[in-house]
Structure 1
Amino acid sequence: MGIRQDRSGRWRAELKSGREYVAGRTFDTKREAEAWLSRERASLAGGVDPRAGKVLVRKAFATWLVDREGTVAIKTTKADRSVLKALPPGVANLHVNRVTDREVQRCINDWSRRYAESTVKRYRATLMAFFASCIHERMITVNPVSRTRVPAQLTPAAEMMPFSRQELGAVRDEIAVLNPALADAVWLAGWTGLRWSELREVRVADFVEVPVPRLVIRRAQPEGIGTKRPKSGRTRHVPLVDAVLPLVKSMTAGKGPNDLLVTTENGARLYATAFKNSTHWAETGRGRRLHDLRHTAACLWLEAGVSPTTVQAWMGHADLKTTQRYLHYLGTSADETGLSRLNQWGRAGGARPAGEDQ
C-alpha cells in the first residue's frame, strides 16, 4: 500500500514509480499519510515529479531570474531581484512543493507592514509568475499565490500638490538665482506636464513648430534604466504655450537634432538628486515633489478652459478618469456657485444667517 507504521508509532508513506522510490514522508496519523500519498500519486499521474519540487524556493527563484533575464524589461528584472531579497526565510528556505497559500499570505502580510501597497502588489505579481513557471516545469500543480490577497493599507497615498501659476513663476525666479538652466527646466516641466523620465530624454528633433509649436514625446529614460517608450506606450504631442515657446527655441540653439533639449548648464543629462541639491529643492520646491510639476501643467490647462479630453491626450492618460482627478482638485462649477452664494450673505439686501451680529 505504501504506508507503514514505524517503531515510534508514526506512519510512513512512500511514493514509488514502479519499483523506483520517488518520495516519502512521516505523519502522526494514518489518515494524514493516506491523504498525502493520494495527492502525490495524483500529481505523479498528471506528469508532476515530486522530486523536482524538492528544490528550495530561493534556489529555484534564482534560476528563474536567470531564465527570465532578457525576456522582460530591465526595470522588471530589477524589481524581480528585489523580491528575492525581500522573501522571508520561512518561504525562501521551503521546498517549492511545500509552499502553501498560508505561507505566501503571511509573507504578503509582512510586506504590507514594510512597503507601500503598490510595491506589495508588484511583489505578489512576481511571485505569481514564479510559481506559474513552477507549474510549467511540473514541479507543482497549484499556484499557492492565486488564493492570496494584498491587504488594503490605511496609510493615505501621496496627494497631488500642483503649483499655481504665480507659485510656479516664483519658484522659477528663486531657482534662477542658483542655476538658470535648471530654472528653465522647472518652467518647461510645469507648462508641458512631461514626466521627469521624459524631460531628461526629449531631443531637439522632438520640437516641431508646424502646424502648431509642440513637443513630440516618443521616449523616456528613467534613471538607472535604458531608453524606453513613454509610460502609456504611445507617442503623444504636447503643445507649447507662448510662456515657454521662446525658451524652447533658445534651448535648441547650437544643438544638433539628436542632442538633448533639456540639460544642465554643462550640457549634461538631468539627474534628480543633483537637480534637488543644485536648486535647494527642499526649500524652493515648497514641499512639492518633482512629479507635482506634471500635475501643475494639467491644472493650468484645465483652469484655462481646455477640455478634459484634450488634456487627457496631452498628458498621455489611458483613462479619462485619471484626468478628472484634476477637476476634483480644482473644484467644480457647483463649488464656485455655492461659494458665491455664501459670500453674498448680507450683501445687496441678501438674507443674513440666523444669529449673525447686526
Structure 2
Amino acid sequence: MKPLTETELEEVAEAIREFDDRAADLVLIASWTGLRWSELRAVTVGDFSRVPVPVLVVRRAAPEGVAVKTTKGRRARTVPVADRVLRLVEACADGKAGDDPLFTSSTGARLHASGFKKSARWSQTGKARRIHDLRHTAICLWLARGVDAATVQAWSGHASISTTNLYVQHLGTVADRAGLDRLNTPGHTGGTHGEEDGASNTNTPGH
C-alpha cells in the first residue's frame, strides 16, 4: 500500500497535465472516489447523479480483456463526489448519453491502462506508484479528513471492516512518523513556550 499524500497527489496531477488534461483529471477523480480502474471503465453517465447530493453509483466492473461483471463486492455501492472533483466529473459527462461510459480518454476512447500510462507519462510522473494506489489514496484521504471507518467501508465496498482498519493502521504509522520527525527536529525543546532547556518555570507551584 503506497497512497499519495494530498500534496503528492496534486503534484502528480500537475505533472501529468503538461501532457494530457484528461489523464490528470482521471488521477484526481480516482484519488477522491476510490474507484478501481475496472470500475472507472464501467461507470456510465447514468450512474452519476447530482441530486440530492453528487454521487456515483458503482454497479459493475469492466476488467480489460474480459466481459463486464459485478463489482468485487458483488453489490452496488454509492460514492460521493467531493467538490474537488465535481467539476471534472461533470466535464466527463458533458454531451454524452446515459448509457455512455462516463470516463474516457482525451480522444473519447475507452480507458485502457496502457494508453493511460503512455499519455500520462506515468513512469516519470507517477512517483513510483501503481494505478491501484490511487484507490488507496482515496481511502486514506477520507479517513484523514475524519470520515468514520464504517462510512469508509461502505464507500470503498470493503466486505469487512477489518480491511478498512488496515488503512487506519497505515495512517497511524504515518502520524507516528510525523510526530517523531517533529520530536527530532533541532530547536524543539518540548518545554513551555519561552522556557529554556533546564530552566525551571517560576510560575510552577512549589518553585
Q: TM-score range by the shorter chain?
A: 0.7 to 0.9
Evaluate the alpha carbon distance shift between residue 333 and residue 296 of structure 1 in structure 2; reply closer, same or farther with a 3 A threshold. Answer: closer
| Match 1:234 to one of 66, 69, 75 | 75
In 2: Cα distance, 1:296 partner to 1:283 partner: 19
Evaluate the alpha carbon distance shift between residue 340 and residue 174 of structure 1 in structure 2; reply closer, same or farther with a 3 A threshold. Answer: closer
| Match 1:325 to one of 158, 166, 170 | 166
Q: Partner residue of 1:74? A: none
In 2: Cα distance, 1:169 partner to 1:320 partner: 29
Q: Partner residue of 1:214? A: 55
In 1: Cα distance, 2:137 partner to 2:61 partner: 20
**Deviation digits for residues 307-343 of structure 1 (CA, Å, limit 9, x no counterpart):** 0110000000001111111111111799489749946
Evaluate the alpha carbon distance shift between residue 171 and residue 333 of structure 1 in structure 2; reply closer, same or farther with a 3 A threshold. Answer: closer
In 2: Cα distance, 1:201 partner to 1:255 partner: 15
In 1: Cα distance, 2:45 partner to 2:36 partner: 17
Q: Partner residue of 1:347? A: 191
Instruction: Give the TM-score, by structure 2 length.
Output: 0.86
Q: Partner residue of 2:98? A: 257
C-alpha RMSD over aligned residues: 2.3
Aligned identity (percent) is 52
Q: Partner residue of 1:177? A: 18
Evaluate the alpha carbon distance shift between residue 216 and residue 340 of structure 1 in structure 2; reply closer, same or farther with a 3 A threshold. Answer: same
Evaluate the alpha carbon distance shift between residue 202 and residue 350 of structure 1 in structure 2; reply closer, same or farther with a 3 A threshold. Answer: farther
In 1: Cα distance, 2:114 partner to 2:182 partner: 47
In 2: Cα distance, 1:286 partner to 1:340 partner: 22
Mapping for residues 128-167 of structure 1, pairs under 5 Å: 160-167=1-8
In 2: Cα distance, 1:241 partner to 1:281 partner: 25
**Deviation digits for residues 75-108 of structure 1 (CA, Å, limit 9, x no counterpart):** xxxxxxxxxxxxxxxxxxxxxxxxxxxxxxxxxx
**Deviation digits for residues 34-59 of structure 1 (CA, Å, limit 9, x no counterpart):** xxxxxxxxxxxxxxxxxxxxxxxxxx
Gaps of 5+ in 1: 1-159, 353-358
AA aligned opposite 1:315: S
In 1: Cα distance, 2:41 partner to 2:109 partner: 10
Q: Partner residue of 1:205? A: 46
Q: Partner residue of 2:155? A: 314
Q: What secondary structure, in the 3-state scheme, does the structure 2 residue paired with 1:190 have?
A: helix
Evaluate the alpha carbon distance shift between residue 176 and residue 345 of structure 1 in structure 2; reply closer, same or farther with a 3 A threshold. Answer: same
Instruction: Give the TM-score, by structure 1 length.
Output: 0.51
Gaps of 5+ in 2: 199-207
Q: Partner residue of 2:112? A: 271
Q: How many residues align?
A: 193
Mapping for residues 85-96 of structure 1, pairs under 5 Å: none
In 1: Cα distance, 2:18 partner to 2:52 partner: 35
Evaluate the alpha carbon distance shift between residue 287 and residue 338 of structure 1 in structure 2; reply closer, same or farther with a 3 A threshold. Answer: closer
Evaluate the alpha carbon distance shift between residue 332 and residue 162 of structure 1 in structure 2; reply closer, same or farther with a 3 A threshold. Answer: closer
Say which structure, 1 or 2, has more relative contact order (CA 8 Å, 6+ apart): 2
AA aligned opposite 1:288: R
Q: What secondary structure, in the 3-state scheme, does the structure 2 residue paired with 1:309 have?
A: helix
In 2: Cα distance, 1:280 partner to 1:302 partner: 29
In 1: Cα distance, 2:178 partner to 2:6 partner: 23
1:285 maps onto 2:126 in alignment: yes
Q: Partner residue of 1:36? A: none
Q: Partner residue of 2:30? A: 189
In 2: Cα distance, 1:174 partner to 1:337 partner: 26
Q: What secondary structure, in the 3-state scheme, does the structure 1 residue paired with 2:56 have?
A: strand
In 2: Cα distance, 1:186 partner to 1:321 partner: 27
Q: What secondary structure, in the 3-state scheme, does the structure 1 residue paired with 2:83 have?
A: coil
In 2: Cα distance, 1:341 partner to 1:236 partner: 40
